[in-house]
A and B are shown apart, each in its own frame.
Chain A
Amino acid sequence: MSTKIEFKYSELFRQAVIDAFKKLHPRDEIKNLVMFVVWLGSIWTTIILFLPGQLNLFNIQICFWLWFTCLFANFAEAMAEGRGKAHADALKKMRTKTMARAIVDDKEVQIASSDLKVGDYFVCEAGELIPADGEIEEGIATVDESAITGESAPVVRESGGDRSAVTGGTRVLSDRIVVRVTAEAGHSFLDRMIEMIEGARRQKTPNEIALNIVLVSLTALFIVVVFVLPPYAHYNENQAGQKGVVLTSIPVLLSLIVCLIPTTIGGLLSAIGIAGIDRLMRRNVLATSGRAVEAAGDVDVLLLDKTGTITLGNRQATEFIPAPGVKVEELAEAAQLASLADETPEGRSIAVLAKEKYGLRGQEVAERFATFVPFTAQTRMSGVDLYAEPQPQPDVKKNEMAITGRSKAASAPPSLAIEPTGHPIRCIRKGAAEAMAKLVKEKGGQVDQSMMNKVDEISRQGGTPLLVADGGRPLGIIHLKDIVKGGIKERFAQLRKMGISTVMITGDNKLTAAAIAAEAGVDDYIAQAKPEDKLARIRKEQEGGKLIAMIGDGTNDAPALAQADVGVAMNTGTQAAREAGNMVDLDSNPTKLIEVVEIGKQLLMTRGALTTFSIANDVSKYFAILPAMFGLLYAASAGGRGPLDKLNIMYLHSPQSAILAAVIFNALIIVALIPLALKGVKYRPLGAAVILRNNMLIYGIGGIIVPFIFIKLIDMLLVLVHLAP
């Protein structure tokens, strides 16, 4: 979706600037206590400006920069929200009221889409907008869901099965469907999307709350630390007999407080959270809550369906094993001939293998006169009959099989109404071993025992053997096998490094499951899995305190999706699944879960890194501000420097320039870190100790060193342009 919506960055920027000012309202500021302290400080310094004798360049600048600290934090939040708002606006336009063709008492009635109730039925035909979320009860249609998913290719939606959900606001392209309403206006998927994106329901996540408590406590501590300084200083002033040499004016103390309290993380905290959800959205994953995103970072166990996630989803031919006395080329040619009209992925893979391995090209067949025998559940085989003369052909292209895919193919075989003429010269068949053995026997042949052993062996390894025969003569075996997706093993290894173990769920028998599990490198598998098994496994892992993520699409996945800590529903899935999960993947790409986990981790890492950075920064600010405040104390001579001036290790020019430089750095660093807050700290699966070490070096040690450099530079600049003495 987001990939399709064009952003004008200048527009986003302009809106964020306006929002930054709007957010100065106390109602908004009080939501973030750390920044609220800065806000109060800004007001206080502003009031001070109007007191007699206080209107000087230094106080004005402090006041200015304190306000800007608030504005920068607001700006960061507004920037993070901006992209989402643009999305939401685009989606809102889709929510325009349409008329629905509701079915009341078996009659079609035109009612406003907003009047549709859960359980109502409506009809939708080609060219019409679907008025509400629902489940297809009748019919099959191609639907343009690009408005939601950004994917321009139409998708097929049909009653029954796992692809029955339609979303309000999408458009039917062909055919006619009858839909049962599952969500009323205002609670639809689109509404939920808009709400999520706008962040209207954005609640603070558990980790965010905990971090906020730490930050607020630190703020309270620093307020104490700073406000005990005037008494300590006055005591020393009295002892030194130097009244008023310590700078303890309110603007100075407020500057010190603002510099010390964790404004960097405080100002960027909500932006980080919003940006996390936004990053997910840009990968076409919708999270129902920030909590779910955070939980994704914590996942310990990943439950994955085998088909479509780990394997390519369809079995593919990998090998031709000729029968004794048969050349492998002969087998390959026969297998290819038998599969030419087979539009199933398995059939295509056979043709492809023959072509790639033995250079057999499909068109050679066109010269022959052939009739194709399709697969049926009764015969459990398919093939081709070759004739000496031309044969009338059924038009395979027009068959609806092409659109509706595999599930339809089995139930509705293309009709072969045209009787072949003459006697075939060859009768090539491929199919299940027992069925083929029977056929061969009927035609007077015999399948060799060594062949049957081979069949058993392939089954044991988790493969599917297909026997190929020409009439009564067995030619050999095609080895069909689940193909593990390229690179998936590496991804699982990566997950393992992250500390996440993977469990494969499959309906296959144990042998097949074990073979694929070993090849894909998953840590564990559940074979012959029933939906209850998934739920039981999730419960069992959760008992052990682990966080579970799973991906599902079917209605029977719904309980497991609901039980899992992170349940990602495929957008192509059923309405039940989409509601049970706490995330919806609009691309319906199961491997996306890995990215979701990464985004969850990034979210936490960014918070941690900026907290560390923020606190580490304080060291340099002490070395800027404390000597500025105390530098003259216990000076040996009037106008001379006291011993604490030695703490001015940056050789900042004057007390005023030093304090200003620290305050300015403190404000600008928020702006400088907005890109990091929005993009997130890069996550690499290196193991906890290594990640900690790296981030500590960058944000901890870096956080100590960086401000020394920039405070010095700002100080030099201030002196250069005469903004500070």
Chain B
Amino acid sequence: MTTIEIIQIVLFFGLGIALTPPVGRFMAKVYKGEKTILHPIFHPIENVIYRLTGIDPNEEMTWLTYFWAVLLFATVGFAADLAIFMTQQWLPLNPQKLPNCSWHLAFMQAWSFTCNADWQSYAGETTMSYFSQIFAIMVHQFLSGASGLAVLVAVGRALKRASVKTVGNFWVDLTRGLLYFVLPISVLWAIPLAWQGVPQTWKPYPTASLMEPYTTQVQKTDDKGNNVTTNIQLVLQAPKLDAKGQPMMANGAAVMIDVPQVDSKGLPIMTNVPVMVDAKVDTQPIPIGPVASLESIKQLFTNGGGWYNVNSAHPYENPTPLTNFLELLAIIVVPMAQVYMFGLLVGNKKHAWCLFNVMLALFVLSFIVAWYYESRPNPVMAGAMPNMEGKEQRIGVMNSVLWGTSCTAIDNGSVNSMHDSWMPLAGMMPMWNIMIGEMLFGGIGCGMYCMLFHVIITVFIAGLMIGRTPEYLGKKLDAWVATWAVIGVLVPNAACLLPTALAVEVPQGLSSMNNGGPHGLSEVLYCFAEAANNNGSAFAGLNANTPFYNIGAGIVIWIGRFIPIISILAIVGRLASKKTVEASAGTLPTHGLTFGLTLTGVICVVAALTFFPALCLGPIVEHGLMLAGRAF
């Protein structure tokens, strides 16, 4: 690691931690309805909104009403998005004359954006019109972030309460969050990005003439515009064996040969591949648009759905080292601050800092592991270079890895390198971060709920171990709370494992894989892991824009969003109705080293027990094979 890289890392974590208390304090003030400097500007607007919508800001909701409000809000957004994606061809602001999206793509994307997952199975610049990008995608990057945060606010508020049935008013939390916090900070962050050269325009794409026209292969389409495919026998690479059955070695690596695959009856295994034709290319459209504003909200509120397909690896989304740093910082600043905000809301800053430290430790650990494997040369390739596959030369290994681990730790999902091309065990770390529930700094609300499920499970087991009915923040935990906490953890986990099993069994699932071997499994596993945890970063390498993956991921995203939300609301609804018990010497402290380590242990053990077998058959075996000289 070079000095400049170390300085960047220190600045990254240092600024993130330094900004945590002030931003968190500001957020807590906003949500408690206290006066902030923005009050003179936005308070009148807030009142106008309430008057226009007929919302009584003093009316409180029960946990279940609150949940219905969140769900209703997302469902209306889903319907609107679905309509926009499927009719964008006829809608304004479509200078590129992009066609309507397929119904399954629209279904997936509509849930993806309204659920704050922002997983994209398409290339933004060649699929979505300006209208779609702005009104369907960007709007929801604000709204879904704000509604996720609103739920966390309700959670914090409810935990502080005692002997009441209500948890707050969703519409008020949503409005306040949007007005006083989400909009202002996004505008603030967009300014330096635009200044650094990120496009912010409404003009159509300019076209550039290529200096060197070239011929490329494109998929053949028939007159109706459908892709033409053909069936060929599946061929895989396998080590060439000598007469004794031992693999033949050359330069320390096994010699690979193509092996046509046959099934048990000796018939060839067929696979569907696109028919490719040559096409000459001499001009290129330069996709632009109001990118800076999208970039800012995408990074700040754990959205991650970029303007361009390659996301923040694209020079227009991320033109300079400064934008790279600012976008990187934007990933962590709100998630870190909301942990502090949570502490202020529940009135236990020590507990919040303990959670913060657990998150930080796991985060740093995943970064170190990923960086360790990424910074070493690929043993299959000769040479001393670190693994640069799938990376921007200008961004380099350290920044790619830091970004990759940050955006998966935090439920953001934007990328500046292709995780698909990381080393197997390095690529496993983003996957691991997603699988533990993206709770490291808790995303915008949602990861924090996941953290709270684990906290409750920890408190439950640890509480028993000290010989008391488990208590969390002065509330006794009962069967209801235990039930919803395990639902909140286990359902998303099952929603990742089960569809993956289906995908590797059916041809619709298998045909989308770009790579064979265990890497293919990793791609599918990553796909459903991020859907189940609302991440939206892509491992890439998997062609997910198919009915199978769009529908599957759409459903999994819905589960991954709303099951945790209903679970956490059910928990805090119950806890709010209980009496608060003052802590005594016999109460399990929810801070301190012992609790922190126990919590870390629970997080790791639950995730490891769930995913270790699957990871064995994906990245771990791939790593073993890579050491033996085979790559996928």
Binding site for B on A (CB under 8 A): 206-207, 209-211, 213-214, 217-218, 220-222, 224-229, 231-236, 238-241, 243, 260, 294, 297-298, 300, 496-501, 543-546, 600-605, 607-609, 611-612, 615-616, 618-619, 622, 626, 630, 633-634, 636-639, 642-644, 646-647, 683, 687-689, 691-693, 695-696, 699-700
Closest 10 CB pairs of A and B: A499-B586, A643-B624, A608-B464, A601-B467, A545-B579, A608-B465, A499-B584, A217-B486, A235-B504, A545-B581
Number of inter-chain CB pairs below 8 Å: 249
Cβ-defined partner of A232 (8 Å) among B479, B521, B624: B521
**Interchain nearest-CB distance for B4 vs A (Å):** 37
Cβ-defined partner of A630 (8 Å) among B578, B580, B601, B617: B617
Number of residues of chain B lying within 8 A (CB) of chain A: 85
For A618, the closest partner residue in chain B by CB is: B609
Given known A-B contacts A229-B613, A544-B582, A636-B239, A238 and B479 have beta carbons under 8 A apart: no
**Interchain nearest-CB distance for A315 vs B (Å):** 34
Cβ-defined partner of A543 (8 Å) among B238, B462, B510, B579: B579
A238 to B601, CA, bound (A): 36
CB within 8 Å of A: which of B181-217?
none
Check: B403 CB closer than 8 A to any chain A CB: no
- Say yes or no: A498 contacts B461, CB within 8 Å: no
**Interchain nearest-CB distance for A294 vs B (Å):** 7
Given known A-B contacts A210-B478, A637-B245, A239 and B614 have beta carbons under 8 A apart: no
A720 to B177, CA, bound (A): 68
A692 to B481, CA, bound (A): 22
Check: B612 CB closer than 8 A to any chain A CB: yes
CB within 8 Å of A: which of B612-632?
612-614, 616-618, 620-621, 623-625, 627-628, 630
User: Which of B46-54, B95-103, B128-136, B590-598 forms contacts with chain A?
Assistant: B590-598
Check: B500 CB closer than 8 A to any chain A CB: yes
- Say yes or no: A615 contacts B609, CB within 8 Å: yes
Given known A-B contacts A221-B493, A499-B585, A616-B605, A206 and B460 have beta carbons under 8 A apart: no
A298 to B581, CA, bound (A): 11
- Say yes or no: B579 contacts A619, CB within 8 Å: no
* Known A609-B464, A615-B605, A634-B630; 17 more pairs at CB < 8 Å: A210-B483, A224-B498, A228-B498, A231-B505, A236-B517, A496-B585, A544-B581, A544-B582, A545-B578, A545-B579, A608-B464, A608-B467, A609-B465, A634-B625, A643-B623, A643-B627, A643-B628
- Say yes or no: A222 contacts B609, CB within 8 Å: yes
Q: Which residue, of A210, A220, A227, A607, has the highest number of chain B Cβ atoms within 10 A?
A: A210
List 6 interface pairs A-B (beta carbons < 8 Å), by A numbering.
Answer: A211-B460, A499-B587, A500-B584, A637-B241, A643-B621, A696-B601
Check: B369 CB closer than 8 A to any chain A CB: no
- Say yes or no: B467 contacts A604, CB within 8 Å: yes
- Say yes or no: A688 contacts B605, CB within 8 Å: no
- Say yes or no: A604 contacts B595, CB within 8 Å: no
Given known A-B contacts A224-B494, A602-B467, A689 and B586 have beta carbons under 8 A apart: no
- Say yes or no: A700 contacts B601, CB within 8 Å: yes
Interface of B, secondary structure class, is helix
**Interchain nearest-CB distance for B264 vs A (Å):** 6
- Say yes or no: A691 contacts B486, CB within 8 Å: no
**Interchain nearest-CB distance for B442 vs A (Å):** 22
- Say yes or no: B609 contacts A225, CB within 8 Å: yes
For B246, the closest partner residue in chain A by CB is: A637
- Say yes or no: B236 contacts A239, CB within 8 Å: yes
- Say yes or no: A696 contacts B579, CB within 8 Å: no
A427 to B517, CA, bound (A): 111
Q: Which of chain A's residues have a CB closer than 8 A to the CB of B595?
A: 689, 692
Q: Which of chain B's residues have a CB closer than 8 A to the CB of A229?
A: 613-614, 617
- Say yes or no: A241 contacts B467, CB within 8 Å: no
For A543, the closest partner residue in chain B by CB is: B579
A689 to B590, CA, bound (A): 9
A646 to B625, CA, bound (A): 11
- Say yes or no: A232 contacts B504, CB within 8 Å: yes
For A605, the closest partner residue in chain B by CB is: B467
**Interchain nearest-CB distance for A86 vs B (Å):** 28
- Say yes or no: A642 contacts B482, CB within 8 Å: no
Q: Which residue, of A227, A298, A616, A636, has the highest number of chain B Cβ atoms within 10 A?
A: A636
For A629, the closest partner residue in chain B by CB is: B613
Check: B6 CB closer than 8 A to any chain A CB: no
Cβ-defined partner of B587 (8 Å) among A220, A496, A688: A688
For B583, the closest partner residue in chain A by CB is: A499
**Interchain nearest-CB distance for A592 vs B (Å):** 18
- Say yes or no: B621 contacts A634, CB within 8 Å: yes
Check: B544 CB closer than 8 A to any chain A CB: no
Given known A-B contacts A209-B479, A232-B617, A544-B581, A298 and B469 have beta carbons under 8 A apart: yes
Check: B218 CB closer than 8 A to any chain A CB: no
For A698, the closest partner residue in chain B by CB is: B465
Q: Which of chain A's residues have a CB closer than 8 A to the CB of B478?
A: 206, 210
For B586, the closest partner residue in chain A by CB is: A499
**Interchain nearest-CB distance for B502 vs A (Å):** 7
Cβ-defined partner of B254 (8 Å) among A232, A636, A642: A636
Cβ-defined partner of B469 (8 Å) among A206, A220, A240, A644: A206
A612 to B602, CA, bound (A): 10
Q: Which of chain A's residues have a CB closer than 8 A to the CB of B589?
A: 688-689
Q: Which of chain B's residues have a CB closer than 8 A to the CB of A297?
A: 467-469
A612 to B601, CA, bound (A): 11
Cβ-defined partner of B463 (8 Å) among A294, A608, A642, A699: A608
Check: B247 CB closer than 8 A to any chain A CB: yes
Q: Which of chain B's residues have a CB closer than 8 A to the CB of A600?
A: 467
Cβ-defined partner of A241 (8 Å) among B238, B486, B582, B598: B238
**Interchain nearest-CB distance for A619 vs B (Å):** 7
**Interchain nearest-CB distance for B434 vs A (Å):** 17
For A231, the closest partner residue in chain B by CB is: B501
For A630, the closest partner residue in chain B by CB is: B616
Q: Which residue, of A228, A622, A699, has the highest number of chain B Cβ atoms within 10 A?
A: A228
Q: Which of chain B's residues have a CB closer than 8 A to the CB of A609?
A: 464-465
Given known A-B contacts A294-B469, A300-B581, A688-B588, A228 and B500 have beta carbons under 8 A apart: yes
